[in-house]
Amino acid sequence: MDARLLSSGMPRGSLVGGIRVWEWPGAPPGALLLHGIGNYGRYWDLFADAAAGRLRLVAPDARGHGESPKPATGYAPAQFVADALAVMDAAGLERPIVAGHSMGGFHAAALTLAHPERVRGLVLVDVGPRIEPEGASRAKRLSLGRPDRFPDEAAALAYLRETSPGYGDAVYANRMAWLFDRDAGGLVWRSAKHALARILETRRDRGGVWARAGEIECPVLVVRGTRSPSFGEESARELVARLPRARLVELDAAHNVALDQPAALAEAVIGFARETD
């Protein structure tokens, strides 16, 4: 069996304008899942396993990541929003839950502000207007300071365990399966460093979206990992207070809540989706 077929749900892959999209069948209204910087659509595998068909899930590889195009330019929020809309249209998601982690959460908020009629409910996973210094430094280091290549899988796995310790075997198996391409010389990242650099550069322009958070009228679920170096408790509570229809869920997790607590996050999102009916 292909080592990358690790999710019991075995999602269907397709292309939408070159963007790789993964889909797990399930119940309406459906959810669009947007991953964070340096990740990939199959980041949501463990979450999808826990959801177990109770909610239809659609997760693209963001541009610059995974099997999606990696152009030299085109990494402004507007381009990611356009990609998300194209994926929603192709998948027949007329008004889904839109859930995003970190970078994906920012793009989910931008999408909701630009097209409020298309979003039933918004889930912001460990993301908000203020990134804690430790989290910002870590994101830059892991995106731009990483080795370009590993000679073999053992070396790549050792790097993942060193830089992101504490996960179970299933998480490391997922990371090994989807973070890297393999060639005769070893393993290379599937996310493009030039893309990550340009995405990080857009941080200075993100204040405009967050300044308009009070305009988001749909229900919002804000999820914070209590051990997150990126999204502090004070920041989370300030964000919830600014949103007209929001509540906060805190889970025993670091920044990657969907990897640390996939089942708890799935229950929270499914319950939230039912509340929006």
Rg (CA), the chain: 17
Domain 12-145+191-275 has CATH 3.40.50.1820: yes
In this predicted structure, what is the pLDDT of residue 196? Answer: 98
| DSSP β-bridge partners for residue 157 | none
Both tokens of 30, joined, read 């459906």
* CB 77 within 8 Å of CB 202: yes
33-65: pLDDT as tens digits = 999 999 999 999 999 999 999 999 999 999 999
Whole-angstrom Cα distance, residue 121 to residue 273?
7
Write down the mean pLDDT value for the chain. 95
Whole-angstrom Cα distance, residue 209 to residue 113?
8
| DSSP β-bridge partners for residue 246 | 220
Torsion of CA 144, 67, 221, 252, to 10 degrees: -60
In this predicted structure, what is the pLDDT of residue 9? Answer: 64
Torsion of CA 104, 42, 246, 107, to 10 degrees: 20
In this predicted structure, what is the pLDDT of residue 4? Answer: 43
- Given a cut of 90, whether residue 8 has pLDDT beyond it is no
In this predicted structure, what is the pLDDT of residue 64? Answer: 98
> Which residue's entry shows tokens 């749909």?
218
* Band of residue 2 on the pLDDT scale cut at 50, 70, 90: very low
- Given a cut of 50, whether residue 252 has pLDDT beyond it is yes
Q: Where are the domains of the chain?
A: 12-145+191-275
201-246: pLDDT as tens digits = 987 667 789 999 999 999 999 999 999 999 999 999 999 999 999 9
117-164: pLDDT as tens digits = 999 999 999 999 999 999 999 999 999 999 999 999 999 999 999 999
Whole-angstrom Cα distance, residue 8 to residue 24?
10
In this predicted structure, what is the pLDDT of residue 160? Answer: 98
Report DSSP letters for 207-251, one per residue.
HHHHHTGGG--S-EEEEEETT-SSS-HHHHHHHHHHSTTEEEEEE
80-131: pLDDT as tens digits = 999 999 999 999 999 999 999 999 999 999 999 999 999 999 999 999 999 9
**Mean pLDDT across the stretch 9-30?**
95
